[in-house]
Every structure is written in structure tokens, then in C-alpha cells.
């Protein structure tokens, strides 16, 4: 597993990802597994959404999960404890200024973090210093500009654009997925390999219709309704039609597409 991991992706694992993955967790995480005894840094664990999967896929790795928010860490600890996971320790810290010794990790894992940072290259550079000379970094990000669907809808695109605009105003970038290669390159990582993970959803994939199009993507866009209206980015009628049109893509003849990007790169 380690060898395949370091070289990129295990083809036999990867096939499930595209055509056969029935859940987002499978699609994004099933090909990340770290060897026994390896020291892994999860940079930005939030409330532990990815930590459990990470730890379960690498049960003998020694994982350190950090986040800038004490409250998030408390939540993550609870979750991980409840799942009976014992190979994760938590530390509070700022990704730009962590207190670990240089070159102290074999692998670094960063998932859905760069999209929130105004200076993602700087963050990647700071993490690089913590990585062993032959270590790897794995980065996963979505890209809201990759969303398209049938039936197509201008209003749905405008509603999605509200989330993009709000994230931008908060200093982030909801379309960062496509940029993983240039970002890692700018931060001077080597052997960068980017693997797009496209979620294609039609009515033959009921788990994804419900689990991704409805409960993940559309719910997230729906969640910015008040903020978008308050910020006067969109009018209410347009936003609401956009959301209805996104749900419309989950009907019998609907199709929804979205792409996540996963990159693996080496320190040197």
C-alpha cells in the first residue's frame, strides 16, 4: 500500500472511485492508506469529519490532527473517541505556525482546508517544512465551478455563485480544486500527481442522488440563503428557483456532475 501510495494511486483501488463509488467517502478516501508506524499530520481537522475515515483506513499509523479552533478539536475528540479510535492525538495550532520539529512527519493530509485560506501557497510551504525529505502530502479540495447538471438552469448556477462569492469575501476560494497543481508547484513540492474525482449522479445511483446531490451539495448551497440575501448578492425569487432547479436534477431523468481534486506530491 505504501509504495502505491507514494507513487500516486493504486489503479485497482482507483477504479471504484470513478464508476463504482457509491459514497463520497469511498470516492475521496479509499485510496489513502498509510503504513504502520508512519507519522501522519492531519492539518486542519475541524470537527473530525475526515479524521475517522483517515484513522480507520490507516489503523496502525500514528496520526496527529491539528486545528486552530479549540472547540472544533473538542468536538473531533468526542467523535473519534465514540468511534473507538485510538491512533489519533489532537493538538491546537495555527497551520501557518505549528510547533512541531522540522521534518517530523512521514505524511501530511489536508482536506477541505486550502479553500478557506487567503494564502494557500504559504500554508503549503509551512507544511513542507514539517515533512520528512522523502515524505508526501495529500490534498483534497472541491471546485464549485465544476458543477453542471441536466436540466441546466441559469438560476441554479447563480445560486451556486452566491456560495462562491461569500467564500471569496471571507478570504477563501470555492473553485480551488482545479488549482492544486499550480499551488503545489508554487510551494515547490515535487512529483505532483493530481487525480480528479468526478461525482456523476443519475437515477441509477440512488445513494449519490440522496447522499451527494441532495444532502451534500444542494443542502450546502441552500445553507447560504440568508447570508446571500442579506449581502444582496441575489434576489429571493432567483435563489429559490435555483434551489428548486438543483433538486429538479435529482428526478428520474436528471443528472448532476461535480468534481473533487486529489493531489499527492513529495517534499523533494
Q: How far is the first Cα of the chain from the last one, in angstroms, to the nearest whole number?
A: 20
- Given a contact cutoff of 8 angstroms between Cβ atoms, the answer to whether 31 and 138 are in contact is no
Nearer to a copy of itself, 97 or 204 (CB): 204
Burial-class residue 30 by CB neighbours within 10 Å (0-12, 13-18, 19+): middle
* Beta strand 62-67 pairing with 88-92: parallel
Nearer to a copy of itself, 71 or 253 (CB): 253
- Least Å distance, CB 182 to a copy of itself, is 4
DSSP state of 201: E
- Least Å distance, CB 15 to a copy of itself, is 4
Nearer to a copy of itself, 93 or 196 (CB): 196
Sequence-ordered alpha helix ranges (H) in the chain: 2-7, 11-15, 24-29, 51-57, 70-82, 120-130, 154-169, 180-186, 206-208, 219-222, 225-230, 236-248
- Least Å distance, CB 75 to a copy of itself, is 34
Q: Which residues bind a copy of itself (CB under 8 A)?
A: 8-9, 11-12, 14-16, 18-20, 143, 145-146, 148-150, 152, 175, 178-179, 181-182, 185-186, 192-196, 198, 200, 202-204, 252-255, 257, 259
- Least Å distance, CB 205 to a copy of itself, is 10
Nearer to a copy of itself, 49 or 175 (CB): 175
Nearer to a copy of itself, 145 or 211 (CB): 145
Nearer to a copy of itself, 112 or 148 (CB): 148
Side-chain half-sphere CA neighbours of 244 within 13 A: 7
Residue 228 phi, psi (nearest 5):
-70, -40
Residues present in the chain in total: 268
Burial-class residue 27 by CB neighbours within 10 Å (0-12, 13-18, 19+): buried
DSSP state of 35: P
- Least Å distance, CB 252 to a copy of itself, is 8
- Least Å distance, CB 31 to a copy of itself, is 11
Nearer to a copy of itself, 121 or 166 (CB): 121
- Least Å distance, CB 255 to a copy of itself, is 5
C-alpha 54/C-alpha 63 separation (Å) is: 9
Give the rounded distance of the alpha carbon of 169 from its chain centre. 20
Amino acid at each position: 500500500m505504501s509504495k502505491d501510495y507514494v507513487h500516486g494511486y493504486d489503479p485497482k483501488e482507483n477504479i471504484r472511485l470513478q464508476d463504482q463509488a457509491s459514497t463520497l467517502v469511498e470516492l475521496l478516501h479509499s485510496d489513502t492508506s498509510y503504513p504502520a508506524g508512519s507519522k501522519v499530520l492531519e492539518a486542519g481537522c475541524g470537527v473530525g469529519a475526515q479524521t475517522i475515515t483517515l484513522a480507520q483506513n490507516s489503523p496502525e499509523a500514528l496520526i496527529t490532527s491539528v486545528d486552530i479552533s479549540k472547540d472544533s478539536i473538542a468536538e473531533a475528540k468526542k467523535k473519534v473517541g465514540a468511534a473507538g479510535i485510538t491512533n489519533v492525538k489532537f493538538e491546537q495550532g495555527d497551520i501557518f505556525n505549528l510547533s512541531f520539529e522540522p521534518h517530523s512527519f512521514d505524511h501530511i493530509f489536508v482536506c477541505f482546508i486550502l479553500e478557506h485560506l487567503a494564502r494557500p501557497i504559504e500554508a503549503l510551504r509551512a507544511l513542507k517544512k514539517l515533512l520528512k525529505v522523502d515524505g508526501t502530502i495529500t490534498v483534497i479540495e472541491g471546485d464549485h465551478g465544476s458543477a453542471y447538471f441536466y436540466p441546466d438552469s441559469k438560476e441554479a448556477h447563480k445560486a451556486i455563485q452566491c456560495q462562491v462569492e461569500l467564500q471569496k469575501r471571507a478570504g477563501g476560494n470555492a473553485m480551488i480544486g482545479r488549482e492544486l497543481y499550480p499551488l503545489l508547484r508554487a510551494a515547490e513540492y515535487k512529483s505532483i500527481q493530481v487525480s480528479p474525482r468526478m461525482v456523476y449522479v443519475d437515477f441509477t445511483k440512488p445513494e449519490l442522488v440522496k447522499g451527494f446531490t441532495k444532502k451534500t451539495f444542494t443542502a450546502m448551497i441552500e445553507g447560504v440563503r440568508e447570508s446571500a440575501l442579506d449581502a444582496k448578492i441575489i434576489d429571493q425569487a432567483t435563489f429559490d428557483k435555483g434551489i428548486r432547479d438543483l433538486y429538479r436534477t435529482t428526478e428520474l431523468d436528471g443528472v448532476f456532475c461535480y468534481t473533487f481534486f486529489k493531489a499527492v506530491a513529495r517534499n523533494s
